[in-house]
Structure 1
Amino acid sequence: MKFFLIFATILSVAFCHQFKLRNNCPFTVWPGLQGNPGKSIPMNGGFQLNSFESRSFNVEKGWQGRIWPRRDCDKYGYCQSGDCGFRIECRGNGGVPPATLAEFTLDGYGNQDYYDVSLVDGYNLPIQIKLIPGTFRKDSNSKYNCNPAGCYSDLNAICPNELAVWQNGWKVACKSACEKFNNDQYCCRGAHNQPSTCKSQYWPVNYPSIFKRACPDAYSYAYDDSTSTFTCRGNPTTGYEVIFCP
């Protein structure tokens, strides 16, 4: 019985997914982590990650969720961007936009992973998602198969003033047009809830194009799938590194 339990433990670890979070920023970042409904909450949902430090954890097979950076958190747990409710461990809470998101759906259709970096909720820091060597197998030479996804530009520097979040005279985050204006056109809802009706010809100003030009491989609006969704298969299970300020 003891041998069986040890073997089962080894097997469960072997078929989980490893994540490594690395902070390349010259300042502290507080990652937020949220599992989709019914999925685990890694690391209780958040922790402090000092400059140039990294931290690893595992998630179960079939995990779905998101990871985002929080900035300038105080001793009470309140963060100037990406805040999840005055707490360091988000414990299931999502981040308040604007925040750059790393999104994952693991072991989905055809036992394939789907991952992306999204600016749909706005932007606060650059992010890169990379596969851990030896944990994956490529199905094709497509740009979107097992390759890094990310947003590497400083969008705060080019953020239009009407979308900018300011702190002490500096732009520290950039809102999405949906968050700022809260209308159906930018938020892809109502009569604009289809790919055919959520596009630039219906937007008063093409704000998503600013995001897309700066970060061509990241989601700039809800239906930006064709140039933003990456896929991969495990060998036997994928491992991911999420890098802040790559």
Structure 2
Amino acid sequence: MNPSLTLPIFLSILLFAGASYAAIIDVLNNCPYTVWAAAVPGGGRRLDQGQTWQINAPSGTTGARVWPRTGCNFDGSGRGNCQTGDCNGLLECPGPGYGVPPNTLAEYALNQFSNLDFFDISLVDGFNVPMEFSPTSNGCTRGIKCTADIVGQCPNELKAPGGCNNPCTVFKTDQYCCNSGPCEPTDYSKFFKQRCPDAYSYPKDDNTSTFTCPTGANYKVVFCP
């Protein structure tokens, strides 16, 4: 074998193997209104009804999330604000940095323990738009949906313009935020859990709210599935 060819071939193999662990996240707006999608990593994009935005998530990505923003106005430079999910007043969300509650979250981490991806829908920052988060490849078929009328049925003390707050956002106590000590479900978290059983309803709601796929899967996030 020609030694001069060995290193480039080896590097190509490594690059190909690494690329196979990246995930494509297709974000679709199926709502009858405009949603300004946000993602860390990814940035942001205006999505009118039926439009799709493709995010290429790097291998090993952790702490990632996609969320819908509503009631937004941005100028030509991408500066403005949103009624829900606002991201530092910017169309393109910089990382680190997350949306202002209330906003429904799709969260994921790629190529983690035992070569698994971990993904979930979280209502820990409240709810603004119905959502589906599902794998689309690699033999993984178990997806998650949260489609209940949470905004319409929101308890009065949790209501917010355009959404429904999680109690941690409103009351800011350990009972709801689980910052220290034991943390159990509350009447408020049960309100969310009864309507979206597969979604996180409070920060320690791991057992029924975290899902996995073998690393290498692609995913879709659908607003108003």
The answer, yes or no, to whether TM exceeds 0.5 is: yes
Q: 1:119 aligns with which of 96, 120, 123?
A: 123
| Alignment partners' CA distance in 2, 1:108 and 1:12 | 14
**Cα displacement (A) at 1:10:** 4.9
Q: Does 1:220 align with 2:201?
A: yes
1:182 paired residue number:
172
1:199 paired residue number:
184
1:207 corresponds to which letter in structure 2? Y
Q: Does 1:73 align with 2:78?
A: no
Asked if 1 retains the 8 angstrom alpha-carbon contact of 2:101 and 2:126, the reply is yes
| Alignment partners' CA distance in 2, 1:12 and 1:183 | 43
**What SS does the corresponding residue of 1:162 show, helix, strand or coil?**
helix
- CA distances 1:62-103 after superposition (whole Å, capped 9, x unpaired): 112111100111024311100011110011121011111101
Alignment of 1:83-102 (within 5 A): 83-92=86-95, 93-102=97-106
2:164 corresponds to which letter in structure 1? C
| Alignment partners' CA distance in 2, 1:88 and 1:73 | 9
What are structure 1's unaligned runs of at least 5 residues? 35-40, 138-145, 167-171
- CA distances 1:178-203 after superposition (whole Å, capped 9, x unpaired): 1111111111123xx33xxx114xx5
1:30 paired residue number:
36
Q: 1:243 aligns with which of 198, 202, 222?
A: 222
Q: 1:56 aligns with which of 54, 57, 65?
A: 54
**What SS does the corresponding residue of 2:168 show, helix, strand or coil?**
helix
Q: Structure 2 length normalisation: TM-score? A: 0.87
**Cα displacement (A) at 1:9:** 5.5
Q: 1:21 aligns with which of 4, 23, 27?
A: 27
Q: Does 1:155 align with 2:154?
A: no
2:47 corresponds to which letter in structure 1? L
Instruction: Name the count of aligned residue pairs.
Output: 213
**What SS does the corresponding residue of 1:110 show, helix, strand or coil?**
helix
| Alignment partners' CA distance in 2, 1:210 and 1:15 | 37
Q: Note the aligned Cα RMSD (angstroms).
A: 1.9
**Cα displacement (A) at 1:136:** 3.5
| Alignment partners' CA distance in 1, 2:55 and 2:174 | 39
- Relative to structure 1, the CA distance from residue 189 to residue 91 in structure 2 (aligned partners, 3 Å threshold; closer, same or farther) is closer
What are structure 2's unaligned runs of at least 5 residues? none
**Cα displacement (A) at 1:57:** 2.5
Asked if 1 retains the 8 angstrom alpha-carbon contact of 2:72 and 2:82, the reply is yes
**What SS does the corresponding residue of 2:157 show, helix, strand or coil?**
coil
| Alignment partners' CA distance in 1, 2:209 and 2:15 | 36
**What SS does the corresponding residue of 1:156 show, helix, strand or coil?**
helix
Asked if 2 retains the 8 angstrom alpha-carbon contact of 1:125 and 1:154, the reply is no
**What SS does the corresponding residue of 1:84 show, helix, strand or coil?**
coil
Q: 1:46 aligns with which of 35, 44, 47?
A: 44
Q: Structure 1 length normalisation: TM-score? A: 0.80
**Cα displacement (A) at 1:17:** 1.0
2:191 corresponds to which letter in structure 1? I
